[in-house]
Amino acid sequence: MNKIKSLSVYSIVLITIILVKTNSLSAQSVDFKIESWEKRINDRQPPELVLEKAGFKKGMTVGEIGAGTGRMTLWIADKIGPEGIIYANDIDTQGLKHLNNRADKAGFKNIRTITGNITEPKFPDGIMDIVFMINVFHHLDDPVALLKNTKPAFKPGGYLIIVDCDPDKVAWGAGHGCTGKEDMRNKLKMAGYELVEIIDVLQEDGIYKAVPAR
């Protein structure tokens, strides 16, 4: 009887150890620090709302164009979880260095940084569920060329999400080069994409979903 009881206790302890080890392998810290400058723009573009409406899910592979110091990168890394991976692109090597430092401090293991150039994101081919950019499009020197060179990165069913200020929503929009809906549609078409949805949930910005044209 005692032998059976001892085996039972041993089994429970063994199962507990296995579960703890499994959880420790799959878990990652999400306690990342929001920098002071990010708070105002997060109020304008709530990260959780943007990612929910854009369709981000656990396990996705994501490319972010213009990731900078990682304002949205860390939120995306949290959203897609350790099963997913995000390739964070920028032309600013110092910004990416700061992003890497933030990711290390927060314990993220699913962020890879890539230094691109103004027309080439340098993403791996055929793996992206989503390519994402926020507050970037109207700053691009040649958005059509960049988006053309992004197309090989998509896997079948993958799509592009652009979040950009909407000149129809804000008085300052036109003066800051914000991209209007028709201009966005035309540039996407020139780059070989079809605008399939405009998600209208932000007060000052549009969320544009596009797919590579067949």
Please state the domain extents for the chain: 30-212
Assign 71 a pLDDT band (cuts: 50, 70, 90).
very high
Grade residue 32 by pLDDT with cuts at 50, 70 and 90: confident
Beta-bridge mates of residue 89: 65, 114
**pTM of the entire predicted model:** 0.85
Fold of 30-212: Rossmann fold (3.40.50)
**Average pLDDT rounded to a whole number, residues 136-147:** 96
pLDDT of residue 173: 47
pLDDT tens string 86-112: 999 999 999 999 999 999 999 999 999
Which residue would you say has higher pLDDT here, 25 or 2? 2
As a whole-number percent, the residues of the chain with pLDDT over 70 amount to 83
Determine the pLDDT at residue 150: 98
Q: pLDDT digits over 51-70, tens only?
A: 999 999 999 999 999 999 99
- Residue 123 makes CB contacts below 8 A (sequence gap 6+) with 63, 87, 89, 114, 131, 150, 152, 153
Question: What mean pLDDT is reported for the chain?
Answer: 87
Burial class (CB in 10 A: 0-12, 13-18, 19+), 126: exposed
Predicted pLDDT at 172? 62
Over range 173-189, report the average pLDDT: 84
Q: Tell me phi and psi for residue 13, to 5 degrees.
A: -60, -45
